[in-house]
């Protein structure tokens, strides 16, 4: 059996589809299944059982002999949440329990870290283990992810193989439930779609982007390493079968693009002329806003990953035309 935590969420549910497409059906879905808005993400998946997050460790104690791999994708990912107790419980202590079980029962593990661990990027974006203790994340979410990475690196015993993946700005299908935390691609599409629906009321078709509050960047010139979720899945599949070179790895494309590039690609995928307006970055995140992220991908490439990444334009075109336009799921 293969376990996926966060299986009803964005990346987790896409991973279940990837496994199904590879012919793997003996999957255990772990999540908090109380949210009906996440149910469509797993509605047509093939799996053995759903296990509630709160009882998963107890379940694993009883069934570990049948588990061959664990993907620990589940986490609290809200960067606007400032209650550290929430992150301590869900991102730090729960992840420690998963790690310890994988170690004790010799189960390979892939877990989700985050590019939010890099903070303002002062120390760069290289996935060098020696740099991780020095990183200064900008919000409690990033802190929780970095604290777990640091804890992992202090361990003297580990699962038989393990990978911590620092996800950069992931976008793609199955994020309808994420609200404010959905990707900018998703929000841009929704803004254009809503505007088009109200065209009779003379509402302009436009995308709203955050204004720059940093003089080094023009409005819309903020840079991110945007990665299509199907590239994330390809890397995860590679590592699942590689089972060597354990460690913490960046997972981006290695190429930063501007938010203007992103918005223009959304309009192009809809065959519409671009129309963009700028709004102030909300006060609650303004001083914790990353203006530049770009994954150094050398480490992953050196262990043999050689598939090209989707370009920003190609990923957005597939996402918009293949999923968002018809509200389809992967």
What CATH code is carried by the domain that includes residue 91? 3.40.50.720
Q: Answer whether residue 268 is part of any domain.
A: no
Pairwise CA distance, residues 158 & 80, whole Å: 32
When pLDDT is averaged across residues 151-165 and rounded to a whole number, the result is 98
pLDDT (0 to 100) of residue 328 = 98
C-alpha closest to that of 73 among 28, 25, 110: 110
Q: Answer whether residue 287 is part of any domain.
A: no
Contact 253, 231 (CB under 8 A): yes
State the catalytic residue, choosing from 96, 126, 150, 178: 178
Pairwise CA distance, residues 21 & 166, whole Å: 24
Q: Does residue 96 surpass a pLDDT of 90?
A: yes
Q: Which domain holds residue 151?
A: 2-172+226-254+295-309
* Most confident listed range (62-76, 227-241, 287-301): 227-241
User: What's the longest Cα–Cα distance across the chain?
Assistant: 65
Q: What is the CA radius of gyration of the chain?
A: 20
Residue 178 a catalytic site member: yes
The answer to which of 139-143, 227-231, 260-264, 324-328 has the lowest mean pLDDT is 139-143
Q: Answer whether residue 13 is part of any domain.
A: yes
Q: Answer whether residue 211 is part of any domain.
A: no
Contact 146, 135 (CB under 8 A): yes
Pairwise CA distance, residues 148 & 146, whole Å: 5
pLDDT band at 252 (very low <50, low <70, confident <90, very high): very high
% the chain with pLDDT above 70: 95
Q: Write the DSSP assignment of 260-329 as a string of letters.
A: HHHHHHHHHHTT----EEEEPPPHHHHTT--SB-----HHHHHTT--PPPPPHHHHHHHHHHHTGGGT--
Q: Does residue 60 surpass a pLDDT of 80?
A: yes
Contact 115, 252 (CB under 8 A): yes
The answer to which of 2-16, 42-56, 89-103, 198-212 has the lowest mean pLDDT is 198-212
pLDDT (0 to 100) of residue 285 = 81
pLDDT band at 74 (very low <50, low <70, confident <90, very high): confident
Q: Answer whether residue 64 is part of any domain.
A: yes
pLDDT (0 to 100) of residue 306 = 97
**Any residues with CB less than 8 A from the CB of 197 and at least 6 apart, and which?**
none
pLDDT band at 84 (very low <50, low <70, confident <90, very high): confident
Q: Answer whether residue 206 is part of any domain.
A: no
Residue 105 a catalytic site member: no
pLDDT (0 to 100) of residue 77 = 60
Q: Does residue 211 surpass a pLDDT of 60?
A: yes
When pLDDT is averaged across residues 304-328 and rounded to a whole number, the result is 98
pLDDT (0 to 100) of residue 198 = 60
Number of folded domains that form the chain: 1
Pairwise CA distance, residues 62 & 317, whole Å: 45
Q: Answer whether residue 275 is part of any domain.
A: no
pLDDT (0 to 100) of residue 89 = 78
Q: Does residue 307 surpass a pLDDT of 50?
A: yes
pLDDT (0 to 100) of residue 69 = 98
State the catalytic residue, choosing from 47, 141, 249, 310: 141
Q: Answer whether residue 81 is part of any domain.
A: yes
């Amino acid at each position: 059996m293969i376990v996926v935590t966060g299986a009803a969420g964005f990346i987790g549910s896409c991973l279940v589809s990837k496994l199904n497409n590879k012919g793997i059906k003996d999957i255990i879905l772990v999540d908090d299944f109380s949210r009906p808005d996440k149910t469509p993400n797993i509605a047509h998946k093939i799996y053995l059982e759903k296990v509630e997050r709160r009882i998963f460790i107890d379940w694993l104690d009883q069934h570990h002999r049948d588990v061959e791999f664990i993907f620990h994708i589940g986490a609290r990912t809200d960067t606007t949440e400032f209650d550290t107790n929430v992150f301590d419980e869900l991102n730090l202590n729960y992840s420690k329990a998963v790690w310890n079980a994988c170690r004790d029962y010799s189960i390979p593990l892939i877990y989700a870290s985050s590019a939010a661990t890099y903070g303002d990027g002062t120390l760069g974006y290289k996935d060098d283990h020696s740099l991780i203790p020095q990183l200064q994340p900008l919000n409690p979410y990033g802190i929780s992810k970095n604290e777990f990475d640091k804890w992992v690196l202090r361990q003297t015993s580990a699962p038989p193989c393990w990978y911590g993946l620092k996800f950069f700005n992931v976008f793609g299908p199955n994020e309808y439930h994420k609200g404010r935390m959905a990707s900018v691609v998703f929000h841009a599409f929704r803004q254009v779609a809503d505007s088009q629906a109200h065209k009779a009321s003379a509402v302009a078709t436009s995308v709203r982007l955050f204004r720059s509050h940093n003089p080094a960047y023009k409005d819309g010139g903020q840079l991110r390493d945007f990665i299509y979720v199907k590239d994330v899945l390809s890397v995860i599949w590679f590592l699942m079968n590689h089972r060597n070179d354990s460690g913490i790895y960046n997972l981006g494309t290695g190429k930063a693009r501007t938010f203007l590039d992103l918005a223009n690609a959304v309009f192009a995928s809809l065959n519409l002329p671009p129309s963009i307006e700028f709004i102030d970055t909300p006060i609650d995140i303004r001083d914790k806003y990353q203006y530049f992220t770009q994954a150094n991908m050398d480490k992953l490439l050196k262990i043999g990953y050689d598939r090209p990444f989707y370009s920003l334009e190609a990923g957005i075109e597939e996402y918009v035309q293949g999923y968002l336009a018809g509200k389809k799921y992967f």
